């Protein structure tokens, strides 16, 4: 153990809130090592992005970089034509890198596969031809419900190859959530796996798809990829099912890429908003690919010939879209992809994989880091992690303790950490250190990526210059920004552009410190962040009220040691139903069944009343005070202040 790894040194670092300068050896080899890059990008941000776009393979070059005259609907690289899958596959193979490994894949049971860029190109073409044979074409929507297997990346790329708009639904979502998403986009085809492994058990994904698709008349077919390895016995085939082995496997491994306009849709990805209905975030082709290429290259300092990069996210989230599929593959790097749980069969599975594949760049979420800390230092210590040279985090604010632990116990005290702030809507990383340049401070995402402009504003929308706190806004368009909400432009304009006209409002609060670094403070709306995943309080409330025993429900996010935040429900029962521990459990399960396991409330409390304003609006702020045992804030607007005493008593009795 080096001196820097001693707990005492660690504690000192934490308490001094010290900063971490990039090691000179790192800066010397970094893709971005000159701080002048910021000024250069700012001097002409259109040129900056155009230079990045120029590194892609265009079939036809654009005539104009940006058209913002239809704000808030941006158009980038107008008149340009390209295909996203070509950026990720053909050009690497054409450049002689076909034999480079694209994915070292490892299944949870320990089965492995190695796929080169040439293998991926052939696989993607087969899937693309298979999709065409099922009648899928340009502009059609295809919903994917698959685990972390190479076929998921292949199907994503195959859709982009033929111009179909893909929408990946995280395979932990329930049948109802899946159904809602399929219906919202009128998907023609669903591609799924029959099963996957999770903590040693087989999860029957096909059963979820069958239930969802039963209520989706637009779906012509369900294309089923078999996971194998004993997973064959799950749900039987139905009439509309098509086996991957009969449709995809026999196809030719060549498929001409569809010519796409830069602004043709690439994908729709759903994310929670403040209402019960998820938003289908729409991304287009040229701008998204430009952002994915640039941010991956600079933030992760990718060296495609030598790095082994591992992002532990699921492709079902935006992080997997941008930083497992499009960004890394556009850059042509070798990746690790893992199917299962981090704690199966042992608590050191991740570290075993890092050592086995000699991972050099590792990107994960603070919630995972907190779990690693809890499991114990001995698990990473058992493995040789010296191949690592750069670490990243995403999804929620990282607490400084976790940051410092990550630096020492995973990064050996030597790896820079990039804390990356961004969203499904932003498409790519927006606020982040550049690892060869930025002196980082635990807990701060530091500065906007070159070319990106962020500001803090107060309630009235006036800019806050210098140190201070306020609402985070992005005040300049960027190529990988969302182009709208699928089928709901009014909601797009209202959600992101109405609060501070002319500026994009992501819904986060932030502060700026003396040296100009940004610290993201978390959501300022009724959205919570559970294990790095966005959940809407309204969505969980609707799920609770869906149960016959529930008359009314309020949900809040409370601080949670591992998850960051966890949902807690307060429920008023209908007449004839008795409060009981069993019923509380049943309600928690009900939410899990309707939305998915991650939305299941940590606790459900029964109450005869909820704190409401005189106009009938539930005051979640006061519920939060109760849950956090805080002094109850301002109650003057409350219709019946007595309600809180009862709630407090009930909460404390259950807590104890």
Residues that bind ligand WTA (CB under 6 A): 271, 317-319, 394-397, 419-424, 445, 506-508, 520, 522-523, 529, 534
Which tokens hold the place of 129? Answer: 């031809």
- The one-character DSSP state at 613 is B
| Torsion from C-alpha of 602, 604, 609, 615, nearest 10 degrees | 40
Closer to ligand WTA by Cβ: residue 50 or 292: 292
Closer to ligand WTA by Cβ: residue 266 or 644: 266
In angstroms, what is the minimal distance from the CB of 271 to ligand WTA?
5
Backbone angles phi, psi at 149, to 5 degrees: -130, 155
Contact assessment for residue 131 and residue 222, using Cβ atoms and an 8 Å cutoff: no
In angstroms, what is the minimal distance from the CB of 362 to ligand WTA?
15
Residue 286: which of 74, 497, 127, 434 has the closest Cα? 74
Closer to ligand WTA by Cβ: residue 216 or 410: 410
In angstroms, what is the minimal distance from the CB of 381 to ligand WTA?
27
In angstroms, what is the minimal distance from the CB of 317 to ligand WTA?
6
In angstroms, what is the minimal distance from the CB of 564 to ligand WTA?
9
Closer to ligand WTA by Cβ: residue 79 or 522: 522
Distance CA 486, CA 357 (A): 39
**Residue 515 neighbours by CB under 8 Å, 6+ apart:** none
| Torsion from C-alpha of 33, 36, 39, 44, nearest 10 degrees | -80
Distance CA 631, CA 436 (A): 45
Distance CA 623, CA 611 (A): 8
Closer to ligand WTA by Cβ: residue 412 or 522: 522
In angstroms, what is the minimal distance from the CB of 478 to ligand WTA?
15
Closer to ligand WTA by Cβ: residue 30 or 445: 445
In angstroms, what is the minimal distance from the CB of 545 to ligand WTA?
25
Contact assessment for residue 429 and residue 295, using Cβ atoms and an 8 Å cutoff: yes
Q: Is 243 exposed, middle or buried (0-12, 13-18, 19+ CB in 10 A)?
A: middle
Strands 101-106 and 334-338: parallel
Distance CA 537, CA 599 (A): 10
Count, residues in the chain: 656
Distance CA 397, CA 346 (A): 27
* Host H or E run for residue 77: strand 75-78
Residue 363: which of 398, 413, 330, 399 has the closest Cα? 398
Contact assessment for residue 72 and residue 493, using Cβ atoms and an 8 Å cutoff: yes
Distance CA 479, CA 428 (A): 10
CA distances, 490 to each of 71, 401, 451, 461 (Å): 13, 42, 28, 21
Closer to ligand WTA by Cβ: residue 151 or 508: 508
Distance CA 517, CA 440 (A): 9
Which tokens hold the place of 385? Answer: 């992690």
In angstroms, what is the minimal distance from the CB of 606 to ligand WTA?
31
Closer to ligand WTA by Cβ: residue 196 or 322: 322
Closer to ligand WTA by Cβ: residue 285 or 367: 367
Distance CA 537, CA 322 (A): 27
In angstroms, what is the minimal distance from the CB of 314 to ligand WTA?
11
In 3-state terms, the chain is what percent helix, strand and coil (to 5)? 35, 25, 40
Count Cα atoms within 13 angstroms, Cβ side, for 165. 20
Closer to ligand WTA by Cβ: residue 258 or 396: 396
In angstroms, what is the minimal distance from the CB of 112 to ligand WTA?
28
Closer to ligand WTA by Cβ: residue 172 or 506: 506
431: which strand partners?
Answer: 421, 448
In angstroms, what is the minimal distance from the CB of 14 to ligand WTA?
18
Closer to ligand WTA by Cβ: residue 427 or 611: 427
Closer to ligand WTA by Cβ: residue 89 or 294: 294
In angstroms, what is the minimal distance from the CB of 360 to ligand WTA?
21
Closer to ligand WTA by Cβ: residue 80 or 395: 395
In angstroms, what is the minimal distance from the CB of 77 to ligand WTA?
24
Q: How many CB atoms sit inside 10 A of residue 234's CB?
A: 17
Strands 201-204 and 195-198: antiparallel
**Residue 157 neighbours by CB under 8 Å, 6+ apart:** 84, 85, 88, 89, 120, 124, 127, 325, 329
In angstroms, what is the minimal distance from the CB of 366 to ligand WTA?
8
Closer to ligand WTA by Cβ: residue 255 or 417: 417
In angstroms, what is the minimal distance from the CB of 499 to ligand WTA?
14
**Residue 409 neighbours by CB under 8 Å, 6+ apart:** 5, 372, 373, 377, 380, 381
């Amino acid at each position: 153990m080096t001196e820097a790894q001693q707990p005492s040194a660690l504690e000192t670092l934490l308490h001094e809130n010290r900063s971490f300068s990039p090691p000179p050896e790192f800066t010397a080899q970094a893709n971005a090592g000159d701080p002048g890059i910021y000024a250069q990008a700012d001097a002409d941000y259109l040129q900056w992005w155009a230079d990045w776009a120029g590194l892609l393979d265009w079939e036809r070059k654009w005539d104009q970089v940006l058209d913002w005259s239809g704000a808030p609907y941006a158009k980038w690289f107008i008149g340009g034509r390209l295909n996203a899958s070509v950026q990720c596959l053909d050009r690497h193979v054409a450049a002689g890198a076909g034999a480079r490994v694209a994915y070292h894949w490892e299944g949870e049971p320990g089965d492995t596969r190695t796929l080169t860029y040439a293998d991926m190109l052939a696989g993607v073409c087969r899937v693309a031809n298979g999709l065409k044979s099922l009648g899928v074409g340009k502009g059609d929507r295809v919903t994917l419900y698959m685990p972390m297997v190479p076929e998921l990346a292949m199907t994503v790329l195959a859709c982009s190859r033929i111009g179909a708009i893909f929408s990946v639904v995280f395979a932990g979502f329930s049948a109802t959530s899946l159904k809602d998403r399929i219906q919202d986009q009128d998907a023609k085809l669903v591609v799924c796996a029959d099963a996957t492994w999770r903590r040693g058990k087989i999860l029957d994904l096909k059963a979820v798809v069958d239930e969802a698709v039963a209520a989706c008349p637009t779906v012509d077919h369900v294309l089923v990829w078999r996971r194998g390895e004993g997973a064959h016995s799950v749900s039987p085939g139905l009439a509309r099912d098509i086996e991957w082995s009969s449709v995809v496997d026999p196809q030719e491994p060549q498929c001409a890429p569809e010519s796409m306009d830069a602004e043709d849709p690439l994908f729709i990805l759903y994310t929670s908003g403040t209402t019960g209905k998820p938003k289908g975030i729409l991304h287009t082709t040229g701008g998204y690919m430009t952002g994915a290429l640039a941010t991956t290259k600079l933030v992760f300092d990718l060296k495609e010939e030598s790095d082994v990069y591992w992002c532990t996210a699921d492709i079902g989230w935006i992080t997997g879209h941008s930083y497992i599929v499009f960004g890394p593959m556009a850059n042509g790097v070798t990746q690790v992809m893992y199917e299962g749980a981090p704690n199966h069969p042992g608590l050191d599975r991740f570290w075993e994989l890092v050592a086995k594949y000699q991972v050099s760049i590792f990107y994960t979420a603070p919630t995972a880091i907190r779990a690693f800390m809890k499991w114990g230092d001995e698990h990473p210590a058992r493995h040789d992690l010296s191949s690592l040279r750069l670490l990243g985090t995403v999804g929620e604010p990282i607490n400084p303790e976790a940051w410092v632990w990550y630096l020492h116990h995973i990064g050996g005290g030597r790896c820079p950490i990039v804390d990356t702030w961004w969203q499904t809507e932003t498409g790519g990383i927006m606020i982040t250190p550049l690892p060869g340049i930025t002196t980082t401070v635990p807990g701060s995402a530091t500065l906007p990526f070159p070319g990106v402009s962020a500001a803090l504003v107060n309630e009235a929308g006036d800019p806050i210059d210098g140190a201070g706190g306020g609402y985070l806004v992005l005040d300049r368009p960027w190529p990988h920004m969302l182009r709208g909400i699928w089928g709901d432009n009014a909601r797009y304009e209202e959600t992101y552009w109405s609060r501070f006209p002319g500026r994009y409002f992501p819904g986060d609060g932030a502060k700026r410190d003396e040296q100009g670094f940004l610290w993201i403070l978390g959501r300022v709306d009724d959205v919570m962040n559970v294990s790095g995943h966005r959940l809407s309080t309204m969505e969980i409330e609707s799920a609770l009220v869906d149960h016959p025993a529930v008359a009314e429900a309020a949900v809040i996010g409370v601080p949670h040691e591992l998850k960051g935040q966890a949902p807690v429900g307060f429920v008023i029962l209908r007449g004839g139903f008795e409060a009981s521990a069993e019923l509380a459990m049943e309600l928690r399960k009900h939410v899990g069944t309707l939305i998915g396991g991650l939305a299941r409330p940590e606790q459900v409390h029964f109450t005869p009343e909820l704190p409401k304003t005189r106009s009938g609006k539930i005051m979640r702020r006061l519920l939060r005070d109760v849950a956090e045992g805080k002094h109850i804030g301002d109650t003057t607007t409350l219709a019946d202040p007595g309600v809180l005493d009862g709630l407090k008593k009930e909460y404390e009795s259950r807590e104890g």
